[in-house]
A and B are shown apart, each in its own frame.
Chain A
Amino acid sequence: MDVTFQFDWQAAFASIPFLLEGIPYTLLISFGGLAIGFLIGILFGLLRISPFAWLRIPAVAYIEIFRGTPVLVQVLFIFYGLPQLLGGPINALVAGIAAIAVNSGAYISEIVRGGVQSIERGQREAGLSLGLSRRQTFRYIIWPQALRRMIPALGNQGIISIKDTSLFSVIGVGELVRQGQVYIATTFNALEVYLMVALLYLAITLSLSFALRQLERRGLVGQ
């Protein structure tokens, strides 16, 4: 048996144009989902620290449910399960974005809660003592500082969510992994193609890391 294997660079490069077609979907699902997830996270993160139990309890329930179940199950539920409830099919892209949104939203809620709670009590007291309303104190004093502290954790969540979209090949969205699978089905060079797929993910996540580091650095000036 001949077990020697030549890595076929030519095949690897040849797959790239086809793989690149998956990138817009990967980016759209990731960043579309994360953008909505961020809004969800702000809302539920703040509800989570509300003094009122009737606001806090639903937030805790949401966070625990969507942190405690796999994102793969969530997207399968949305894509295959919800249509039975709604009586009509759901677009795979929409299902993917929704899954990332609700999943990252749960984690971002906790990031928001932690960020806001990390701001010293004296900041709020100083704002209130100047006559600022509670809302103004939050908007001008607490939130800008909390947001700055949240950046590393948000970046982390961004990277996790980008990678999570690779699971969504199961619902047939033409994202990166799906493109790779389709390509391999005709050319059979899995080694080369999956390596290229991995490198493309790395390129996306490294770009995000870099961008966030810049943001953090700029934000830290004058802290």
Chain B
Amino acid sequence: MNQDKSPSAADPIVCLEKVNKFFGDLHVLKDIDLKVSPGEVVVIVGASGSGKSTLIRCINGLEEFQQGHIEVDGNELLPHGKAGQALQKIRTEVGMVFQQFNLFPHLSVLDNVSLAPMKVRGWSRADAIETAERLLERVGISDQAAKHPGQLSGGQQQRVALARALAMEPRLMLFDEPTSALDPEMIGEVLDAMRELAREGMTMMIVTHEMGFAREVADRVIFIHQGEIAEEGPPEEVLDRPRNKPTQQFLSRVLKH
């Protein structure tokens, strides 16, 4: 029989199979199996050092893995960084927001956002600027476009970082603790922008300690314990009625704060 290989809405956009990752002798990811559907919002929680960052960084090839395979929107990553063109394609289709923002300090806010569309997608400067301005407006910082990142507050910087990633029109967005480096009063503005993105149907994988936010936007919560997916399910299950011990202990520690 002929198998139809064309992607449909039901096909996962991210697929990890038996992914194992080591840092030297340290086994950081253990047999990770994970599928994410288009439009799904997946929140990843777990203790410090459990492998959350490593997991999402494997998806856009910032970390290599040693066993298993990862497929993102039909592009396959192989162990030991053997990917070539596929890696480039994945990075073009996948946006990432970092804990420390990682804005380019030597470029203006507008140039931060318009650089990649011009250099990677080959857009004209006019098109890239227009898109950048529209995105900056959407995250509420259009009046800061000419400034440099160092002149912005943490919350503003993270919203620029979000706009920068969105400018590439990604099919998937990865977030690695996007609000952990922010002063408490600035967390809300970043979460608001992410909430809106989720509402518009963006596929998102979010590492965060913001449990209220997770409960609200997540379609699925994944709890990672010592490099393994220990529990996963809808937020009301994993967060409110955790089944296994590590999850319960982690949540009681987090929610006490």
Contact = CB atoms under 8 A, between A and B. Distances in A.
Interface in B89-117: 91-92, 94-96, 98, 100, 102-106, 108, 115-116
A159 B119 CA distance: 38
A219 B119 CA distance: 23
Nearest to A139: B119
A222 B105 CA distance: 8
Interface in B4-34: none
A136 B120 CA distance: 9
B164 A130 contact: yes
B120 A131 contact: yes
B62 interface: yes
A87 interface: no
A122 B168 contact: no
Contacts of A136: 119-120
A125 B98 contact: yes
Contacts of A128: 61-62, 91
Given A129-B62, A132-B120, A140-B119, A223 B88 contact: no
B148 A131 contact: no
Interface residues of A, number: 20
B209 to A, nearest CB: 20
Given A122-B100, A148-B106, A223-B150, A129 B60 contact: yes
B165 interface: yes
Contacts of B105: 145, 223
Contact of B62 (A125, A131, A140, A141): A125
B100 A130 contact: no
Contact of B116 (A122, A132, A145): A132
A126 interface: yes
A119 to B, nearest CB: 10
A130 B116 contact: yes
A117 interface: no
A113 B207 CA distance: 34
A123 interface: yes
B117 to A, nearest CB: 9
Given A129-B95, A130-B116, A223 B104 contact: no
Contacts of A140: 115, 119
Nearest to B62: A125
Given A123-B102, A222-B148, A130 B120 contact: yes
Contacts of A50: none
Nearest to A147: B106
Contacts of B100: 122
Contact of B104 (A126, A129, A131, A133): A126
A81 interface: no
A140 to B, nearest CB: 6
B42 to A, nearest CB: 18
Nearest to A129: B96
Contacts of A222: 106, 108, 147-148, 150-151
A130 B162 CA distance: 11
A140 B114 CA distance: 12
B91 to A, nearest CB: 5
A134 B61 CA distance: 13
A133 B116 contact: no
A144 interface: yes
A124 to B, nearest CB: 9
A222 B94 CA distance: 29
Nearest to B98: A122
Closest 4 CB pairs of A and B: A131-B92, A222-B148, A126-B102, A130-B116
23 contacts: A123-B104, A125-B62, A125-B98, A126-B98, A126-B103, A126-B104, A127-B104, A129-B91, A129-B94, A129-B165, A130-B95, A130-B115, A130-B164, A131-B92, A131-B116, A132-B116, A132-B120, A136-B119, A140-B115, A222-B106, A222-B148, A223-B106, A223-B148
Given A122-B102, A129-B94, 8 more contacts: A120-B102, A125-B98, A126-B98, A130-B164, A130-B165, A131-B92, A222-B108, A222-B148
